[in-house]
Amino acid sequence: MMNKKFVLQATILLLIVGWFFSCTQVDIYAPIGPKGEKGDKGDRGQSTYELWKEKVANGTIEWNKDEVSESDFFRFLKGKDGKDGQDGVSAYEQWKEYIASGDVDDPHNDGKKWDPKKNTVQDFWAFLMGRPGADGKTPYIKDGNWWIGDTDLGVPARGEDGHSPVIIIGENGNWWIDGRDTGKPARGPKGDQGPKGQDGQDGNDGNNGENGKSAYELWVDEVKNNCGKPTQVMDPHNPTQPWDCDRVSFNDFMDFLRGQKGEQGEDGVVPGTIIKGKYNVLPQYYNATLGEYVDPSDGSVVFAVFDKEGAKAPAGSTVKGLPGIPGQTFTTDSKGEFRVTRDQLPERLLVGQRRGITDEVTINGVMEPSAKNTIVPNRINTRITANFVYLRQPTAAMGAGSYPIAHFTVISYKYEREVDGQWVAYPELFPKPEFAAVFVNDPASPVNEGNITDSAESQRWGINKSYADFNEAKNSFMIVRPVVLSDTEKNGNNPPTDITDFGTYTKRFNEVKKYEWDNNDKYFSMKGTKFFYGQNPILPQAIHVPEIYPMVEFKNDTKIDIVHGVTTIWGELDMDKLPEAYIKYEMPASETAPWRPVKITGQQLKAQFQQKVMAKIFTFGKTGAQLTQTYTDIPWKKGHAKFSTRSVYPKYVLSTMMYIEDDLKGKTTLGTPNDYVIGAIYAPYRALPYYILEENSGNYHLKYIFGVKPDFPLPKQSLPVDWTN
């Protein structure tokens, strides 16, 4: 059981939250009746702070009667400085210890235990909150009276003598209409109380204790300590986005605690609620969880039409004069629905201009205006911008050679929507957007529809989804890098058809050639194609997608050693012939300036990254029916690129590759980690298969896989013991 001090502190914390959220009254107004005389304004209920002032004034609470400002109220809640006690432990800290065992009941889920990993301050607040009761039933109008569920309350919906009935939730929790208790609860049954905490042991006397932290101070710590981490505090008003780590003032805390501001109701009508006795024209949710009406696939909104009994209208019913869309007529389908297209929706209208009565609703030949509860969403606009651009490949396992789309430029993008005049992030719960690569005709000019070429040729360079590290990459679009072919690839023959690494290499090579670099810089951008609300936004920046060069070959003095029938090929990679490479992009001068990568020589790469470079030799082949694959690591940090690779037999293929390691979030290639970067390694060159081991009468040689060069003889020589040291 938690001790009494914890319970007291938890109760005080709930009082604070309750005070922040408190409202003075809840009025739901019925449809307007004949105008009457203005009544007296009702009394406002007391807040927690006002009740406290009253209790201080009458002596119920021991407190200086001259210190009753709001800041004094917070000092009262915080408590006086402790004397002669141990350092104070907050209710939150005691709760963390309490739930650490994993044996504490979950107050919100019967029969389940609270997850001890859910121990942040936000989890603490969630634990303390009571389980929500079942939703109560909302009153509606039927036959001129107010009804709740199937019960006629006998209260006329139309006020007499010009008096508009007032519906409130009374102190007893029931619906009250015109001062009469309906006997119907506004909320469902009260949720079960959470488990009672255990009493803690009495502490020993100690030195003066430190002041405990207030709820505000705890919140500030939570925001700052988790900034940029997976546990970062999320924005309660925009749950898919983190709270701004710089917004930690007391006013920001108040804003964090407040619920979102709702739209002001008109004439007591709750938007989306069916009013019986009237025709109803209501938008249908695309996503009810987020309260979104507009379909991101095409930007349209579906509306449903209801007759006076609340049933769907028959097919062929017509609607004209929706709020904000005057003069347009729509016809219902077999489901009693119709669709308003993106171009028909209003744009940036205030809510009062697009909510109210639909002028003409015709059902079964009878035309009447609708109830005053139609709301028409605004048109949604979209835009995409680049958070960051970098170079990558999907995996370290290049195997027998890079696949056609194995090296690419990654655009980490931001997709935003304009909703009612405010730019907000596209929800993660919605379908993943799709893009197409487009050529930028002139990178020095603004990138727009008039400066791009969107064609089948440009689109084949774009990748919406790759594999390995980029299988489910969020907010990432990839563009294939042009391939620089080696001399043997460019001038030689197709590889032998019996070379197999999950498919013939000839097929792979022919695909690679489709992306051969034409010696011209290629500038791309990206264009939204799917789930952009009927638009096709273009990234307003040109991106130079650079060519990628092949990895180097073996030096000519490579040899073979055979001991007890086991072959070992040993030698050194010709790192002096490393070609040029691209490592990173320069940050552009503005949000519309081009992204351009930095090109360096092979020797500059050695000077900057030798300590982090791992070269590899990959061998694969079949021994009988068994396919064998082996990687041999060559850590360049040793100061050389010597290698020895064992168990290589005739008809086996050998390829070379290189990686810059220890590059999580780009910390090595960029110089500092960047959260937008995916993957922990970077391949600056293409992996390329160069050789096939051949044997003839006991003599061995390496045959170039493309057959353009003469065979590479392998003299037999014992492998020195210290060769790779």
| Domain identity same for 157 and 243 | no
pLDDT computed for residue 721 by the predictor: 94
Evaluate if residue 231 carries a pLDDT over 90: no
Report the 10 Å Cβ neighbour count for 52.
21
Q: What's the domain count of the chain?
A: 5
Q: Where are the alpha helices (DSSP H) in 58-167?
A: 70-78, 91-99, 121-128
Let me know if residue 272 belongs to a domain. Answer: no
Which stretch of 175-179, 258-262, 399-403, 713-717 has the lowest confidence by average pLDDT?
258-262
| Domain identity same for 407 and 494 | yes
Angle made by CA atoms 130, 132, 137, in degrees to the nearest 5: 150
Interatomic CA distance for residues 415 and 433, integer angstroms: 9
Interatomic CA distance for residues 98 and 92, integer angstroms: 10
Mean pLDDT, to the nearest integer, of 694-701?
91
The residues, ordered by sequence, that sit 6+ positions from 149 with a Cβ below 8 Å of its Cβ are 137, 184
Residue 321 belongs to domain with CATH number: 2.60.40
Evaluate if residue 173 carries a pLDDT over 70: no
Domain boundary among 190, 207, 227: 190
pLDDT computed for residue 107 by the predictor: 81
- Reported as a pLDDT band with limits 50, 70 and 90, residue 331 is very high
Which among 95-99, 486-490, 617-621 has the top mean pLDDT? 617-621
Which stretch of 114-118, 145-149, 475-479, 500-504 has the lowest confidence by average pLDDT?
500-504
Interatomic CA distance for residues 483 and 516, integer angstroms: 5
Strand partners, 258: none
Question: Helices 4-21 and 48-57: crossing angle, nearest 10°?
Answer: 120
- Reported as a pLDDT band with limits 50, 70 and 90, residue 135 is very low
Report the 10 Å Cβ neighbour count for 674.
16
- Reported as a pLDDT band with limits 50, 70 and 90, residue 483 is very high
pLDDT computed for residue 338 by the predictor: 98
The residues, ordered by sequence, that sit 6+ positions from 167 with a Cβ below 8 Å of its Cβ are 27, 28, 29, 30, 139, 146, 175, 176, 177, 268
Interatomic CA distance for residues 615 and 398, integer angstroms: 12
Let me know if residue 271 belongs to a domain. Answer: no
Mean pLDDT, to the nearest integer, of 607-634?
88
Say which amino acid occupies 615.
A
Let me know if residue 580 belongs to a domain. Answer: yes
pLDDT computed for residue 465 by the predictor: 85
Strand partners, 329: 320
Which stretch of 239-248, 326-335, 659-668 has the lowest confidence by average pLDDT?
239-248
Q: What percent of the chain has pLDDT over 70?
A: 74
CB of 548 closer than 8 Å to CB of 657? no
Interatomic CA distance for residues 78 and 91, integer angstroms: 12
Q: What percent of the chain has pLDDT over 90?
A: 48
| Domain identity same for 573 and 685 | yes
| Domain identity same for 648 and 611 | yes
Which among 266-280, 537-551, 641-655 has the top mean pLDDT? 537-551
Q: Quick one: how far is CA 159 from the chain centroid?
A: 50
CB of 92 closer than 8 Å to CB of 5? no
pLDDT per residue as tens digits for the range 193-230: 555 545 544 445 545 545 566 677 788 888 888 887 76
Interatomic CA distance for residues 722 and 725, integer angstroms: 5
pLDDT computed for residue 149 by the predictor: 67
CB of 534 closer than 8 Å to CB of 298? yes
Which stretch of 215-219, 321-325, 326-330 has the lowest confidence by average pLDDT?
215-219
Which stretch of 170-174, 310-314, 348-352, 628-632 has the lowest confidence by average pLDDT?
170-174
For the chain, state the CA radius of gyration: 36
pLDDT computed for residue 131 by the predictor: 57
- Reported as a pLDDT band with limits 50, 70 and 90, residue 156 is low
pLDDT per residue as tens digits for the range 623-678: 777 778 888 999 999 999 999 999 998 989 999 999 999 999 999 999 999 999 99
DSSP 228-277: TSTTPPB-TTSTTSBPPTT--SHHHHHHHHSPPPPPPPBTTBPTT---TT
| Domain identity same for 396 and 502 | yes
Say which amino acid occupies 7.
V
Let me know if residue 90 belongs to a domain. Answer: no
Let me know if residue 129 belongs to a domain. Answer: no
pLDDT computed for residue 506 by the predictor: 74
Report the 10 Å Cβ neighbour count for 62.
7
CA distances (Å), origin 330, targets 140, 320, 325, 344, 720: 27, 6, 11, 11, 86
Evaluate if residue 69 carries a pLDDT over 90: no
Angle made by CA atoms 348, 351, 357, in degrees to the nearest 5: 120
Q: Which of 279, 276, 272 is nearest to 313 (CA)?
A: 279
| Domain identity same for 416 and 329 | no
Domain boundary among 204, 223, 257: 257
pLDDT computed for residue 444 by the predictor: 95
pLDDT computed for residue 450 by the predictor: 97
pLDDT computed for residue 200 by the predictor: 47
Mean pLDDT, to the nearest integer, of 27-35?
39
Domain boundary among 521, 545, 569: 545
Mean pLDDT, to the nearest integer, of 159-166?
44
What secondary structure, in 3-state letters, does 496-541 show?
Answer: CCCCECCCEHHHHHHHHHCCECCCCCEEEEEEEEECCCCCCCECCC
| Domain identity same for 686 and 568 | yes
Mean pLDDT, to the nearest integer, of 702-724?
90
- How would you list the strands of the sheet with 325-331, edge to edge? 325-331, 318-322, 360-363, 366-368
| Domain identity same for 32 and 169 | yes
Structural domain of 241:
215-257
Question: Helices 250-257 and 4-21: crossing angle, nearest 10°?
Answer: 90
| Domain identity same for 402 and 537 | yes
For residue 351, the 8-state DSSP code is G
Within 13 Å and on the Cβ side, how many CA atoms surround 52?
Answer: 20
Query: Please, what is the average pLDDT of the chain?
Result: 81
| Domain identity same for 427 and 495 | yes
Q: How many residues does the chain have?
A: 725
Let me know if residue 86 belongs to a domain. Answer: no
Say which amino acid occupies 426.
Y
Mean pLDDT, to the nearest integer, of 233-255?
77
| Domain identity same for 408 and 508 | yes
- Reported as a pLDDT band with limits 50, 70 and 90, residue 372 is very high
DSSP 458-506: HHTTEES--SGGGSS-TTEEEEEPPBPPPHHHHHSPPPPTT-BSSSBHH
| Domain identity same for 474 and 515 | yes
The residues, ordered by sequence, that sit 6+ positions from 74 with a Cβ below 8 Å of its Cβ are 214
Interatomic CA distance for residues 481 and 483, integer angstroms: 6
Let me know if residue 613 belongs to a domain. Answer: yes
- Reported as a pLDDT band with limits 50, 70 and 90, residue 187 is low
pLDDT computed for residue 119 by the predictor: 82
Let me know if residue 268 belongs to a domain. Answer: no
